[in-house]
Structure 1
Amino acid sequence: MTETFKALVVDKGETFSLAVQPLSLEKLPAGEVLIRVAYSSVNYKDGLASIPNGKIVRSYPFIPGIDLSGTVVSSADPRFHEGQAVIANGYGIGVSHYGGFSEYARIPAEWVMPLPAGLSLREAMIYGTAGFTAAMSIQALEAHSAAPDKGNVLVTGATGGVGGTAVAMLAKKGYQVTASTGRADAAGYLKTLGAAEIISREEVSGGSGKPLDKQLWQAAVDSVGGAPLAALLSKIAYGGSVAASGLTAGTAVPATVLPFILRGVSLLGIDTVACPIEQRIQIWERMASDLKPERLDALVDREVTLTELPAALEDILASNTRGRVLVRLS
């Protein structure tokens, strides 16, 4: 086994630093499963972990990366064996426990899942946490009666990781998808993913400005939050629902109770961090089967190495990515 390996390390001493460094296996935190990481991905939370005031990392030095796929090197838990393909995301990974931006990771066994049949290690991280969030959002909407024959579904932030994956998954399931974006050059990309209609973010926020507006969509996947979330709630059809998972437009939602008490609209919070492992496995199985887009690779913006990763982290914070950024570790 290798004596040293490379990882992207953030540190906060006299000055903040972000750099690829050599580490030894002894530096990895406790956990039953040692994994040789094949791929990780870049998520908005990873971008926050890469800056001094991101309020994500709890102690330094630290290795970010909230998800990973790879093969088991060794395991103290009988559920996993050497050479097995596995994935891990959520829980403390990349927040309080060293994450996936590393050639090796040691993870608690209860956070690790076998790679589902129907997915490669690379495909799993084309999804990554963003794709898992999209799938969890769609499952929540379906549990609240969303169906392809009930009208259009809105996806906000459609060029982002969660949004783009949601567009592709919903289209695969036969939904008519309205994709909202602030990027005028994204129409071709979103059509490729399966969007039936593309609108500007201003069209989501615009309208009468009244607490109840024209009913335009049966449901929505929202990764934006803030004022746009308040606006789209007023435009959801009777009995519809909104799955909310993001805050790029802010944490304050200046809404009224009227969509909830007069139209029976449901606001569904999507938390992928503490999702129980049984539900997590079930959702990943769907991501490998009925939710898997025909052209999953169309979601890839680019693939980067550890050396190229800092620039990609800057880009996701500046909304300069379209789709998913893969991180190739081995």
Structure 2
Amino acid sequence: MILYLDFDGVLHHDDVRLDLHNRPYLRGSGTLFEYADRLTQVLAPYPQVKIVLSTSWVRVKRFSYAVGRLPVELRQRVIGATWHSRFMLDDELLDWWLNTATRYEQIIRDVRRRQPQQWLALDDDAEGWPDSASAHLVCCDSRLGLSESRVCRELEGRLAEFHRIGITGEGGTMQATGVGRPHCAKALTTKNRARVAAMTAKAKYAARNGTRWFSSSELLAQAKLQGLLTIPTPSEWTTHRRMFAIDLDGEPRFPAYGLDPLTFEPFPAMAAILDILEGRDAWFLAVWFESVNSYLGGVCPREVLAQDPIRVISAAQNEAAGIIHG
């Protein structure tokens, strides 16, 4: 059995924000994950229950971070999430996820992929849930979450019922969902996949050709040519998250726009941006720096990084989503 678990409005008050250092904090009353132990207690009689995270924490802060904030008893049950970073490379799926899909549609997409015998969702978002699937939702008050005894009793009752069904063999995956394929969660056709692949390739091409990408040897050569006393250490930049590199022709290459032309060292703002966009891969970063950004007035982040690093840092915070909810 799978439990689809939301964080905000379930394990704590729903009013969660990100501070200037991209760290989640609770603006509402209480503390983060203050009700997690209650969930641990409710699940204790059911060791077979696994957890799939259905929270936007996975998208905003990455999967490993979200899992790591849970108590160890819950952490050991987690087998995945409804969100996956590869969605960032699929424009159609990403647009559906961010702008169209309800929480129910996100969950049911995962249900169809995993095909669990039984499943249940613990969430504070009941929008879009059809009556035929209402037995699979335990809905919390966004302010109270699992602190409300009514919710705990309902969750206990649903778990016991699903456990009984599992033992007797009644029901099943499709009977349990009680719904057909949601119209928004359409499968990508071969044509759509080809279009998305072409768009991804086009974005990567623009990122690759929009600036010069230095190899480590080229950076050392440039430093020597200018007589710099401090020699750049590109191998340490990525290790300490001061710079990112994409793989070109089998070796890491570093973007010229991220380097101070006088010292050939990364601009200090790069470390802040990489911290904010933690979890994004190198090609995502390359495409983001090369893409027109409405927050920056229609220019690319790479074009203004040297002149106005604070604005680019703010644009990165906007990209990472200033408000976590879910």
Would you say same fold, with TM above 0.5? no
Q: Structure 1 or 2: larger strand share?
A: 1
Answer with 1 or 2: which has the greater Rg.
2
Q: Structure 1 or 2: larger helix share?
A: 2
TM-score (norm 1): 0.28
TM-score (norm 2): 0.28
